[in-house]
């Protein structure tokens, strides 16, 4: 393993809390490819003890440097404290299978390229750790790579936000949250922050106007202070900043006018998580367990990373099994119904599907996401099939295509965090698979 191939930025121990989707251009650094960086072949954390250069740690950030991060995203619990999302003790609902091996041969042209590649080849490009495709409610494709197994769990990164948004809109539909109200009516502690005069709806759709940079390259970016606050490790003695998510959020300053432009800022999800916790009196881990996880027939518990006082990271801390993420995607596709039970009100799913403000979204200038919008912490493609998705850095995905009756879920460990690295090999690929399945019926 050559140092030269390492992830070029020195990541702080808190780096793991930096998962965001930015629209920066893909970095041009040369990385080991998917096969060269295979975390199993690399032998991370194997041995008693493992060889010194194969030991990964949280506090020095080594666990999240590429290529080591390929192992760590499937073993987050070994590095940090976590809180369970119990599925109860019920028998999991089986997933029927109807394998379609031809999917591997589907061809498409990556965005910005001229030569087509196959679906199978695209999985290497995006450093996929696992992919499940559901069609008409059955698994038509299921593959695992690297350190992930069917019984393993993987970081969902910012896909977590869509879980938070779903819980949020469920509570809106239940009448516990009024999205037209100001955030400060629920969380008085946020009165003097940027969120004080924002509505809950603006938080849910990320149209708040915040002085909050998620630009990794800038050492003064607010994301670093947020990360330090959420880091569960004891703070250094000379540290005088906020020590938890709840201490950080009231420090966020306003910049601009709420409601005008989409601005993808992780802190919105943590504010929504706070509101959910406040109105229910429970952590979002408990709320997710009670409202969805125990009812969905999942095979495994999920888990969140937590800060120093046990607060789950609503903006990016969820980890779960790939097959369970497929179940969750199918639940959304099926308008909130699973196992004969209306788990999520159909009206909540309708609210997601109707999408957010396209003009506000366009102001964020995502060159690969023309015409999209953002609603309830879901990304709405507004394509012909009405597809919408949950997206997380390094390639995490739930893609729901109602017209094709298809769900694609993916865990990945792309060395580049930004989705713009994966999108050229992903967005046209999803559409090609949808087309194939519509034809195949």
Q: What does the DSSP 8-state code read for residue 193?
A: S
Q: What is the CA radius of gyration of the chain?
A: 20
b (16+ CB within 10 A) / e for 157-189: bbbbbbbbbbbbbbbbbeeebebeebbbebbeb
Least gap, CB of 312 to a second copy (angstroms): 10
**3 binds a second copy, rule: CB under 8 A:** no
d(CA 438, CA 252): 46
Q: Count CA within 13 A, CB hemisphere, residue 420.
A: 17
Nearer to a second copy, 123 or 271 (CB): 271
Binders of a second copy among residues 216 to 275 (CB under 8 A) are 233-234, 244, 246, 274
Helix (H, G, I), strand (E, B), or coil: what is residue 411?
A: strand
**341 binds a second copy, rule: CB under 8 A:** no
**30 binds a second copy, rule: CB under 8 A:** no
Nearer to a second copy, 49 or 340 (CB): 49
Nearer to a second copy, 10 or 257 (CB): 10
Nearer to a second copy, 84 or 116 (CB): 84
Nearer to a second copy, 87 or 160 (CB): 87
Which of 35, 36, 78, 346 is in the footprint of a second copy by CB under 8 A?
78
Q: How many residues line the site for a second copy (CB under 8 A)?
A: 49
Q: Are 114 and 371 in contact (CB under 8 A)?
A: no
**46 binds a second copy, rule: CB under 8 A:** yes
Q: Count CA within 13 A, CB hemisphere, residue 347.
A: 8
Least gap, CB of 252 to a second copy (angstroms): 17
Q: Which of 23, 39, 25, 15 is CA-nearest to residue 130?
A: 39
Least gap, CB of 62 to a second copy (angstroms): 11
**381 binds a second copy, rule: CB under 8 A:** no
Q: Which of 67, 275, 73 is CA-nearest to residue 181?
A: 275
Footprint of a second copy (CB under 8 A):
45-50, 55-59, 75, 77-84, 86, 88-89, 91-92, 150-153, 233-234, 244, 246, 274, 277-278, 281, 283, 299-301, 303, 306, 308-311, 321, 323
């Amino acid at each position: 393993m050559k140092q030269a191939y390492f992830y070029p930025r020195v990541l702080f121990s808190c780096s793991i809390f930096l998962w965001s989707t930015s629209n920066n251009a893909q970095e041009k650094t040369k990385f080991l490819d998917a096969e060269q960086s295979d975390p199993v072949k690399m032998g991370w954390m194997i041995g008693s003890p493992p060889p010194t250069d194969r030991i990964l740690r949280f506090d020095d950030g080594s666990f999240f440097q590429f290529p080591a991060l390929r192992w760590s995203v499937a073993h987050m619990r070994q590095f940090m404290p976590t809180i369970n999302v119990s599925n109860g003790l019920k028998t999991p609902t089986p997933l029927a299978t109807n394998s379609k091996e031809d999917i591997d041969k589907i061809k498409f042209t990556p965005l910005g390229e001229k030569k087509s590649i196959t679906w199978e080849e695209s999985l290497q490009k995006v450093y996929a750790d696992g992919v499940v495709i559901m069609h008409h409610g059955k698994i038509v494709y299921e593959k695992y790579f690297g350190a992930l197994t069917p019984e393993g769990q993987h970081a969902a990164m910012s896909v977590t936000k869509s879980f938070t948004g779903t819980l949020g809109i469920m509570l809106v539909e239940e009448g516990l949250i009024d999205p037209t109200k100001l955030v400060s009516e629920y969380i008085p502690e946020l009165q003097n922050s940027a969120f004080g005069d924002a509505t809950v709806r603006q938080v849910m759709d990320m149209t708040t106007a915040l002085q909050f940079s998620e630009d990794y390259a800038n050492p003064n970016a607010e994301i670093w202070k947020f990360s330090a606050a959420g880091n569960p490790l004891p703070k250094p003695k000379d540290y005088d900043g906020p020590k938890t998510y709840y201490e950080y959020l009231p420090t966020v300053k306003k910049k601009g006018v709420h409601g005008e432009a989409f601005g993808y800022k992780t802190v919105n999800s943590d504010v929504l998580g706070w509101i959910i916790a406040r109105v229910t009196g429970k952590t979002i881990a408990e709320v997710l367990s009670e409202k969805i996880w125990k009812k969905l027939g999942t095979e495994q518990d999920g888990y969140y990373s937590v800060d120093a006082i046990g607060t789950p990271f609503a903006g990016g801390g969820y980890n779960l099994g790939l097959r369970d993420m497929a179940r969750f995607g199918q639940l959304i596709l099926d308008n909130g119904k699973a196992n004969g039970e209306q788990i999520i009100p159909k009206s909540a799913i309708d609210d997601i599907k109707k999408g957010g403000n396209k003009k506000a979204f366009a102001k964020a200038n995502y060159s690969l996401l023309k015409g999209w919008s953002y609603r309830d912490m879901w990304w709405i493609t507004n394509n012909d099939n009405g597809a919408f998705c949950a997206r997380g850095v390094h390639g995490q995905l739930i893609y729901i295509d109602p017209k094709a009756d298809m769900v694609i879920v993916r865990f990945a460990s792309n060395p580049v965090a930004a989705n713009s690295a994966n999108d050229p090999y992903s967005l046209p690929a999803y559409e090609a698979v949808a087309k194939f399945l519509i034809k195949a019926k």
